[in-house]
Structures are given as structure tokens and as C-alpha cells.
Amino acid sequence: MNVLEINTVTKRFGNLVAVRDVSLTVAKGELCAIIGPNGAGKTTFFNLISGYFPPTSGKIMFDGQDITRLSTHERVSRGMARTFQITEIFPELTVFENIRIAAEVAGGYRLRPWISRAEASKIHDNVETTLKLVALEAKADRLVGELAHGDQRAAEIAMALALKPHLLLLDEPTAGMGDQETYQITQLVRRLHRNDQYSIVLIEHDMRVVFNLADRICVLDQGRMLAQGTPQQIAANESVQAAYLGNAA
Amino acid sequence: MTAASSRKLIVLAAIWVVLLLAPYWMAPLGGYTALATRVLVLGLAAMSVNFLLGFTGVLSFGHAAWFGLGAYGAGLTLKYLALSTPLAVIAGMLLGGLCGAILGTLLVRRRGVYFAMVTIAFGQVFYYIAFQWSSLTGGDDGLRGFARQPLDFGLFKLDILSDANIFYYFVLVCFALVVGTMGFILRSPFGRTMIAIRENERRARFLGIPVERHIWIAFTLSCFFMGFAGALYALVNNFADPRGLHYSQSGDFVMMAVMGGMRSFWGPLLGAAVFVVLQDYLSSITVNWMSFVGLLFILVVLFFPRGLLGFFQRSKA
């Protein structure tokens, strides 16, 4: 079964066509990487998937249901979680508090003016498990704003995981990281994919990371889908080399 | 229990002891009980503004509207409907809260300066209504001819009208109820979504929080608290006037909140205390008392950007 089916979506901003007739299908448990040169429309495409703005035309299906016109929070409550290119966290709260907010929203408690002990301890367990998953349990009581960049990233991913999503959207998870941090985040994403069977779509610039992780790679260029395929197919694809890899060489 | 949480408990106990004994230590220091009552009521209003400003990150510059509506609601109830103090307080709270709830629906998509500007505009609408509708509100002269009524508990009566101390304790009980509610909400899952919105609206949205709806709820709660404070204010003065709705009054509340420390729960009460005491003391010396309060405000903002209480907390840590 497919988690995500995107059917010829287009997004125009005035005269600019940021995304043109792009289709993409993500199967359950698949890790799909989106690559492309700067300005190719990758983040716009992500914003369309996550509901930051609606597409000009086209259709988006999630878990078999049409979500094209749903708002962001409705998509999240159906099981779609996302992280951002520039880390979006609650800097003045601790790691624990950051993740607890996500866990409480996911548990359906967001409008509750009270919470019982039993419910609170269930939330607590969810937070603890999530902390372990991203290896932040030792830093649970630190303010997120004071952590190193890599740990902030991990905390952001943890918040997404606490939502218990069916689909994880990661926008450049290793952006601005050194080798060591990149390695750690790559290992984390690999664990989530291989061990926990998360369906993941990620945008990434670092080709080592992409070819290391992805089941499938999609190449966007000037708003169009240039090619899709396994890492081997993409590496051998001539138009991709010309438009993207070729430019770098 | 950790050291931090036991220290919090001690501070909390200290605050309540100071408030409970206020009529006894105010007098020797040259104050009087009615001054303490004013601090409580205006402090409650400043805390209501801060419920939104400090904990949801939304600045309303028209909150005096709900305060003034609360005052008129209480005054009009006592004058025309029923000679009952509790009923007057409830009526004032409902009037302020419901008007806020309705106008709040139009506000929640605005952010930052735009939100503040629209709240000023809405506030001024109520100011001019109170100003012009003389037959009901008394217009510029204000609403007179009502007084708070003794509380009748059947077995005994509490004379809150003529005994300043008893009235102080009545206000303190009301204050405790509202402040307790605020604290309870802020410690709940809903309260944590408010803080999430303050910290990072986009993240909050992408965690599945319908941000506009939550801001509306926080705004509406804050309007009810404000209406409650306004109703108490009408009882303090046995009078309600249109200046209580004016945006300069809103400015005073924001000033109290910022001066006291808008990230701390109790900060606005301290801000209100400083403001009210300075006003009381300086206005007997000069009509330009506000310029001194303003000077203090500027100094606080420049040197203690987290407010007076924020400064004390930091220097302790």
C-alpha cells in the first residue's frame, strides 16, 4: 500500500512556476530522497505535501485519502510529521518539554485543561521512548536552545517521532553539520527506516547521505521531476548528470 | 522533591503570606488597606493581559475594553438589575468575556503589530460607546449611583461596603480564585500549547496544533479574567467611567506586565504594585507623576529586559 500518492501537482507564485506537474508515490516503509540543485522547488514541494500552502492544481492522497485541501494541523493529526531546513524547536524549553508537547498533542490532550496521573505517565513513557530513539535521554533536562546544532536537529526529529507518524518528512536533516554530526543523523535516519519501518521522504544536499540511505531517488530540476529511480539508476542517468551532477564536476 | 521545586513552593507561600497580611503591614509603612485592594485588582488585570502576552506571545493593546466592560457590567447590574455583589461580578465577567470572545474571532489571524492595532481599534469602539451613550452609562461623568452590597450568607453578613479590611479579603478571595485558575490552565496540556505557540508558532502548527483556535481560546479566557478584574474595580470605586476602557488604560496594564516581568507568572502583580504605589505617592506631590513612572519604565526596559521579577530571579540563580 502507498502512504503517499501525489498526482501532477503544480504550484505557481504569480508568473513563477515553482513546481510543475510533479507526481510521486511513496510506498509503506520506503525511504525516498529528493535531490536537485538550489531553486529546483524541493522545499516548495515539501510545503505542498505538508500543507503549508495548497497546490495550484493537482491532487495529494495520504493513506488512501484526498488531503489536497486539508490544513497543516489536520494532516499532522492524520499522521504526517515534518522537520525543517532551519531547525524549528521551542528554544526556551527543555528537551523533555519540547517532546512532551508533541506527545500530548498526539495523545489528543491539546485542549485539555487538566491531565490525570495515568495519562501523564503514559505521555511520560512516550517521551522517554522517543528520547531513547534519538539518544538524547542524557540531555532531557537541558534547554534545547543551548544544545549543539546536531542535538537540536535530533530533538526536532524526536518531536516529529513523538507524533507517531505514518510518514516522516525531513527537510535537509544534515544541513550545516560537520562530518561527525552528519554521520550521527544519517545513522539515526537509517535506524528509523530499517529497524522501525518508518516511511520517510527527505530532501538532502549531501550525496553521500542520499546514496547511503535512499531506496529511491527523485531528481527535481526547475520545478520538474527530471528522473526517479534506484540510486544505481540515478547515478547512471545521463540527463541527471547533465542537469545536476554534471554541473558540479 | 528537587531543590528548585521546593524553592518555588517557599516563594509561593511567601507571596500568599504577604498578601494575606497586607492590611496589617501596609498601615505601619504609611499605606492603607484600600491601596492594597487597588494593587490586587489592577494586578489581576495586568496578570490577565500577561496570560496572553507572556504565555501565548500575543500583545493585546485593547484589553482595557474588557476591563471597562466588566466594570460597567457590574455597575449596571447593581444599579438597575439586582443588589447583589456576586451577581454583579459574574455579570461583569460575562460582559467582558463574551464581547472579547466574539471580537476575538476577528482577531486571531492577525499577528504582532497588526494584532495590537486591531485590538486598540476594537477597544476604542467600546470607549466611544460608553462615552456617547450617556443615558445608560452616564457618559463622560461616569456611572454613579451604585455601591457594592454586603455579602449575605444567611447565618452571617460580611460588610464589605464600610469595612475596608473585610472588602480587601473579599477581593483577595476573588483574586485567588482567578489566579488559581490561570495557574491551573498554564500547567495543563492546553497551557503548554499556549507556550508552544509563544515559542515557535510554525513548529506548533506542524505539531498539529490549530494555532488560530488556540489563540482564540487563550484570548477569550484572558478577556473573562479581565472582565472579572474590571467588575472588582467597579466595586472598589463604586464607580465606572469610560477612561477605564481607553487604550491608555490598556497601555498601563501592558506597562505593569512588562515592568514586573512578562515571562513570570507573578511579575505583573509586582509591576502593578510599583505602578499603583508610585501613582499614589507621586500624584500627591505632582500632577506629572506619570513622567516619573515612565522614566522608571524606560530604566527597567533598558537594564532589566526581563522585568523586575525576572531580574530578581536571575540574580538568585
In tens, the pLDDT along A30-74 reads 999 999 888 889 999 999 999 999 999 999 999 999 999 999 999
**What pLDDT sits at residue B171?**
96
Alpha carbon distance A62, A76 (integer Å): 11
Extract the C-alpha cell encoding B23: 492590611
Query: Averaged over A137-155, what is the pLDDT?
Result: 93
**What pLDDT sits at residue B20?**
95
Grid cell 485588582 in the structure block, residue = B41
The SS3 call for residue A224 is strand
Grid cell 485539555 in the structure block, residue = A112
Does the beta-carbon distance from B189 to A109 stay under 8 Å?
yes
The SS3 call for residue B37 is helix
Does the beta-carbon distance from B207 to A84 stay under 8 Å?
no
Go through the domains of chain A in sequence order and give each one's CATH number. Answer: 1-79+166-249 (3.40.50.300), 88-164 (no CATH)
Residue B141 in contact with partner chain A when CB distance is under 8 A? no
Q: Which sign does the torsion angle of CA B102, B108, B111, B114 carry?
A: negative
DSSP per-residue string spanning A172-210: -TTTT--HHHHHHHHHHHHHHHHTT--EEEEE-S-HHHH
Q: What is the CA radius of gyration of chain B?
A: 19
Query: Helical H runs in B21-111?
Result: 22-26, 33-53, 64-76, 85-107
Chain B hits for A72, CB-CB cut-off 8 Å, are 205-206
**Global model pTM greater than 0.80:** yes
Side chain identity at residue B247, one-letter code: Y
Cβ neighbour number for residue A127 with a 10 Å cutoff = 24
Alpha carbon distance A190, B59 (integer Å): 44
Closest partner CB to B205 (pick from A73, A89, A93):
A73
Extract the C-alpha cell encoding A199: 516511511
Does the beta-carbon distance from B208 to A114 stay under 8 Å?
no
Residue B316 in contact with partner chain A when CB distance is under 8 A? no
**What pLDDT sits at residue B297?**
92
**What pLDDT sits at residue A247?**
53
Q: What are phi and psi of A202, to 5 degrees?
A: -135, 145
**What pLDDT sits at residue A241?**
79
Residue B202 in contact with partner chain A when CB distance is under 8 A? yes
Alpha carbon distance B13, B163 (integer Å): 26
Q: What are phi and psi of A35, to 5 degrees?
A: -125, 170
- Residue pLDDT, tens place only, A219-241: 999 999 999 999 999 888 888 87
- Residues 6+ away with beta carbon under 8 Å from A239: A226, A227
**What pLDDT sits at residue B311?**
79
List A169's β-bridge partners, or say none. Answer: A82, A201
Query: Averaged over A168-195, what is the pLDDT?
Result: 91
Cα first-last separation, chain B:
18
Contact predicate B200/B57, CB 8 Å: no
pLDDT per residue as tens, chain B (317 positions) = 678 888 889 999 999 999 999 999 988 888 899 999 999 999 999 999 999 999 999 999 999 999 999 999 999 999 999 999 999 999 999 999 999 999 999 999 999 899 999 999 999 999 999 999 999 998 888 999 898 998 888 788 888 888 899 999 999 999 999 999 999 999 999 999 999 999 999 999 999 999 999 999 999 999 999 999 999 999 999 999 999 999 999 999 999 999 999 989 999 999 999 999 999 999 989 889 989 999 999 999 899 888 888 877 766 55
**What pLDDT sits at residue A249?**
43
Cβ neighbour number for residue B44 with a 10 Å cutoff = 26
**What count of residues does chain B have?**
317
Alpha carbon distance B28, B22 (integer Å): 11
Contact predicate A192/A161, CB 8 Å: yes
Question: Across the A/B interface, how many CB contacts are shorter than 8 Å?
Answer: 76
Nearest to residue A23, comparing CAs of A34, A15, A12?
Answer: A34
Extract the C-alpha cell encoding B267: 511579575
Extract the C-alpha cell encoding B255: 506597562
Alpha carbon distance B133, B138 (integer Å): 7
- Residues 6+ away with beta carbon under 8 Å from B177: none
Max CA-CA distance within chain A?
60
**What pLDDT sits at residue A96?**
96
Alpha carbon distance B260, B191 (integer Å): 21
Q: What is the mean pLDDT of chain A?
A: 92
Residue B180 in contact with partner chain A when CB distance is under 8 A? no
Residue B157: is it exposed, middle or buried by C-beta count within 10 angstroms (0-12/13-18/19+)?
Answer: exposed
